[in-house]
Structure formats: C-alpha cells, structure tokens
Structure 1
Amino acid sequence: MPAWAEKYQRLVVTLLLGFCLAGSAGAQTSDLVSSKALRVCADPANYPMSTRDEDGYENKLAELVGAKLELPVQYTWFPMATGFVRNTLNAKRCDLIIGYAQGHELVLNTNHYFTSVYTIIVPQDSDLADVKSLADPALKGRKLGIIAGTPPSAHLARHGLIAKAKAYNLVVDRRVENPAIDMLDDLSAGEIDAAVLWGPLGGPLVKSSYPGFKVIPLISEQSPPRLFFRITMGVRLGEKVWQRNLNSLIRRNQDEINSLLVDAGVPLVTDLGTEVLEISN
C-alpha cells in the first residue's frame, strides 16, 4: 500500500474513533439525567420557595414539571448556601434546580420563566404607602430593613439611607435562621419603618402571613445596580438536551407557570423590569 494511502487510512480511523468517543461521551452525559423520576435539588427550609413539607411555590412548580414529563418528583435536600450546587447538582444526586438567576456560571440556565424585582414593603396604613422609589424623600430619616450585600444596599447608600438601616444576614442556613421573616416580624413590631426584600420572597410571605402590609415593586429606580432579575431553571453544565427539553416545556406551559406564581404572590414584571405584569388567575 502506498505511503499516502496508509496515512489516509490512519486519518480515517482516527476520525471515526474520535466520533465514536464523542458520541459515547454525549450518551454518558445524557444518562446522568434520571428517566425514572424528576430529581430536584432543593433547600428543605426556604419558605415560601421550597420546604421539606413541599408547600413552597417552587415545590408546586416541580410538581407541574413532573406532571408534564409524567415523572414522580424526588428531592435531594441541601441548604441553599455555600456548596449547594457542588453537593447536589454537580454531585449528580439530582438533575434540576427549580429557581436560579439567569447568567450564573455554576449551572446551565434554561430560558427564564419569570422576571421579578426587589420590593419595598410597608404597613398599608403607613405614611410610606405611596412610596414608589428608594429615592423618595419620604424615606429620609426612616429605618429600613435590608439584606446585607443585596443590590438595593447600593441604592440605600446613594440616597443616604444606609446609616439608619438594619442589616440582616444574606447567606444563612434557613433551618435555623430566616432573615426575610425576621425582617417582616420587625416591621410588624415597629422596629423598622419599611422592609426592602426580593419580591419572590417578600410577596408570597406578605400574602400568606402579613395581610396588613403593602408590597411595592421597585420598578422606578434609574441608577445601577439593577433591581430586577430573570429566573431560570438550572441544570448541569453540558446537558444541552435536558436544557432544550425544559425550554420547550416552559414555552408550552408559560401561562400555567404564570398563574401558579401569581397565586403564590410573586410580583411579575416585564423582561426589562419597567412594568408590573397584571396577570389574572
């Protein structure tokens, strides 16, 4: 056989071997996702989002996804703090995180299924009930609750509100500490004048347990950092087929997802965070 033919033959074999290995690797990646159950990674004590009793709205979203896929839902529980993704999704103990901010590098994001925004929460009979922005002069001299390190902190500092603010911990084990509930309890007790909370936390908590409060989405802030975020489902890096399947499911069932979120009390806004979406159940 001529030398050029031998080289050509070796090249073909090498390419075929490469294709086979690539196909095998793809199959192995796909095989990580269970075909017998929807395996969900979740915090066991993150009410109103997820709980071990499965009464959070993310639990209901998981049930919706499982029903559409005709799969039972199984949970791997782990506190949503440092190490959550490493010890759940990346440890291959589960295949899906129901709620994850768009653009996070630790997971592969699906298309976003809702956009929400930070809110300011005040008593309905308060003289702050008409506040629309953290720049409102009515907030001067008031004591606001804020989760330390969250985007609204920069706005409070810009408007001279941070000195009197009461800070609550950001990264906690919610089995022993719940900063959002602590903040709303302090608002009830009059220890703070208003609470600044992520809408998907504050809205459902107010709807379920604090009927005397008003939730005001902060859609009028003009300066950075932005206060609205798009929320996706998170899957393991590289699992594009699983991601595409979920994207299709979200698209086909968006109305049902919206209804579930609105029923829970989650404030929904447009993709650019400029308007509140009015969605009837």
Structure 2
Amino acid sequence: MTSPCRSAELLLVVLLLAAPAAAAEPGDLRVCADPGNLPFSNRAGEGFENRIAALLGRDLGRAIAYTWWAQRRGFVRNTLKAGTCDVVMGVPKGFEPVLTTQPYYRSSYVFVTRTGDGPWIASLDDPDLRHLRIGVQLVGDDGATSPPGLALSRRGIIANVRGFPVYGDHRAAVPAAPIVDAVAAGEIDLAIVWGPLAGYLARHAPVALTLTPVSPLVDRPMLPMLFDIAIGVRREDKALRDELSQALARNRVAIDAILDDYGVPRLPTVVSAARP
C-alpha cells in the first residue's frame, strides 16, 4: 500500500472462496458481497452493509439479489465487471476500477488500547511507539502491510510490530478479529485497525477498549489513514450511480443509525454535487 490507489485497493480485500450467485429477477438491485465478512456483510444479512443495501432497496422499490464472492483481489473483476451483479457496497470514493456514489460515511484507522491500563497514543510520531508491542493489519496473499504499517516502517518502527492477516480464519464470524482480541488479552499493547472493524469488535470485547483516530490522518507523502466510503457501480452505469446517490441522501439519518448500531467511528464527510 504505497499510494492512495493501493491504500483504497487494500480496503476491499478480506477472505474465503467464491460462492454461487443468488438468482435475480429483472429489476432487482444486484449486490456483489462477501459471504463471511462481519461486520460488513455475510450470507445471513447480518452486516451493516447488508442492512444499508436493504434500506436502499426498499427506498428504490427493488428487491436485493446477492452475488457472493470473497473480497480478495480480483473481487471486482469476477463480480461487477463480469456482469453477475451491479453494485458493490463499501468502496473508497474514487476507487479507480468503479464509478462511485457520494460517500455515506468517512472513517479512519484508529489506535486500539485497553481502557485504563493501556498506553495513551494519539500520533504515529509518539516516541513511545518505539518500545510498545504493536499490531498492524496485513492484507492479501502476499502479506502486504496496511497504511499504518507502512507509516511505522517509514519511521523505523519494525522490530516491535506484529502483523495480523485481514483474511483471517474463514470459519470465524469475524475473520479479522484476532488483532483486537490480542489487545483485549494483553498480548500486544495496542493495535492500529480500520475504524469500522475496530468499533464493532470493541463493542463485543470482554474488556473496555479505547479507540483513538490515527494522527496524522494523511501521512506524508500522500499516505491516507482516512477514507470516504461510497457505493461502486460499473463505470458506464452513471444513471444507477446517480439513483443510488439520491437514495443515500434521502436516507442519511437511517444510515447513520445503522452505523451507530455497529459502533462505526466516523469523521465529518464533505458531500459535493454529483458529477455528470
């Protein structure tokens, strides 16, 4: 993850193998999604992206039909671009392979520590990071580091850093949970985790955990720690993009309530007029 595009790409990967597509009827809102990636999505519809998709479907008067495919690299190529589905929830705004709607939330990576007895860290430049046990997320089959991992390596903070695969155990309800579990158990002093995952896991942790947004939010040169999250469609599907953007705007309050239910930490989002 050495550029904004690479940073965005790594947010789209998670676990598992492909599963068959659901039968769709004409007029359905066909959604490409991971069948086992809580808190975002699963086959039982328990993720917050499942709930937001259902909300948009009701608003548009369209039933939801899923194509299930693991969100590893190649996800967009094998689903959206293959024509088996039309909508990808939860992509970074401006993600190059797709056309994106207006964002419906903005989040960042966060420091996760134990409340009370954990270290107080608010910046990647804190000198204490040089001697703490730190967990970072690793993405992809090649174990590429996440933006915070790259930022730490730029600062020479390597030997005390432990990597946790985002893919995780596909048999688990939340495959990426071990990084936050390790903080709760005291196996590491802190972790730097994508905010929506951290917020959800903190709500279910056996001990109180504190989440602090990573600072700086954009590490120089051009390494973002925050992302505006939108819906992706094929690049030629401008009408669908605009339809979904309008539905997102109409349902802003309900979407925020869903995100609150899952503990998703958010930063202010700037929404501009839709591009033609």
How far apart, in 2, do the equivalents of 1:127 and 1:174 lie? Answer: 27
Cα distance in structure 2, aligned partners of 1:39 and 1:221: 34
Q: CA deviation at 1:160?
A: 3.7
Partner residue of 2:14? Answer: none
After superposition, what is the alpha-carbon deviation per residue over 1:103-130, rounded to whole angstroms, capped at 9, x for unaligned?
A: 21211111111111000101112241x3
RMSD: 2.1
Q: CA deviation at 1:67?
A: 1.1
Aligned residues: 238
Tell me, in whole angstroms, the C-alpha distance in 1 between the residues paired with 2:252 and 2:265.
15
What's 1:192 paired with?
188
- Deviations along 1:217-241, whole A, 9 cap, x unmatched? 1244563212111111011120011
| d(CA) in 1 for partners of 2:206, 2:269 | 28
1:90 pairs with 73, 76, 81, which one? 81
The alpha carbon displacement at 1:179 in A equals 5.8
- Opposite residue 170 of structure 2, the aligned amino acid is R
Task: Tell me whether 1:261 sits opposite 2:274 in the alignment.
Answer: no
1:4 maps to: none
Instruction: Provide the rounded CA distance (Å) in 1 between the counterparts of 2:210 and 2:235.
Output: 40
Match of 2:153, SS state, is: helix
Contact 1:79–1:174, Cα closer than 8 Å, also in 2: no
Q: 1:174 to 1:236 in 2, by over 3 A?
A: farther
The structure in which a higher percent of residues are helix is 1
- Code of the residue aligned with 2:37 in structure 1: it is N
- 1:83/1:210 CA distance change after superposition, 3 Å: farther
- Structure 1 gap ranges (5+): 1-32, 273-281
Structure 1 residues 234 and 221, CA, compared in 2 at 3 Å: closer, same or farther? Answer: closer
Q: Larger deviation: 251-260 or 117-126? A: 251-260
Q: 1-side partners of 2:236 and 2:25: how far apart?
A: 16
Q: 1:71 aligns with which of 54, 62, 68?
A: 62
Picking from 152, 162, 183, the partner of 1:156 is 152
Shift of 1:204: 1.2
CA contact (8 A) 1:180 1:202 kept: no
Q: 1:174 deviation in Å?
A: 5.7
Q: CA deviation at 1:34?
A: 6.6
Aligned to 1:22: none
Q: Secondary structure at the match of 1:200?
A: helix
Map 1:137-156 to 2 at 5 A.
137-148=127-138, 149-156=145-152
Larger mean CA deviation between 82-91 and 151-160 belongs to 151-160
Instruction: Tell me: CA distance 1:63–1:221, structure 2 relative to 1, closer, same or farther (3 Å).
Output: closer
- Counterpart for residue 237 of structure 1: 235
Q: For the residues of structure 2 that align with 1:88 and 1:264, how far apart are their CA atoms?
A: 26
Q: Percent identity?
A: 35
Aligned partner of residue 224 in structure 2, secondary structure: coil
TM-score, structure 2 as length reference: 0.79
1:221-279 deviation line (CA, Å, top 9, x unaligned): 5632121111110111200111111111112222221221122111110248xxxxxxx
The 2-side partners of 1:86 and 1:69 are apart by 26
Bigger RCO (CA 8 Å, 6+ sep) = 2
Contact 1:142–1:161, Cα closer than 8 Å, also in 2: no
Q: 1:175 aligns with which of 170, 177, 189?
A: 170
2:43 is the counterpart of 1:48: no
Q: Measure, in 1, the Cα distance between the counterparts of 2:160 and 2:38.
A: 28
- Asked whether the 8 Å contact 1:117–1:219 carries over to 2, the reply is no
Pairing 1:135–2:142 present: no
Q: What is the TM-score with the length of structure 1 in the denominator?
A: 0.78
The answer as to whether partners of 1:113 and 1:232 remain within 8 angstroms in 2 is: yes
Amino acid corresponding to residue 266 of structure 1 in structure 2? V
**1:120 lines up with 2:116 in the alignment:** no
Structure with larger Rg: 1
Q: What is aligned with 2:18?
A: none
Q: CA, structure 1 residues 186+173, in 2 after alignment: closer, same or farther (shift >3 Å)?
A: closer
Would you say the 8 A contact 2:184–2:207 is kept in 1? no
Is residue 130–residue 160 contact of structure 2 (8 Å, CA) maintained in 1?
Answer: no
Instruction: Give the aligned partner of residue 198 of structure 2.
Output: 202
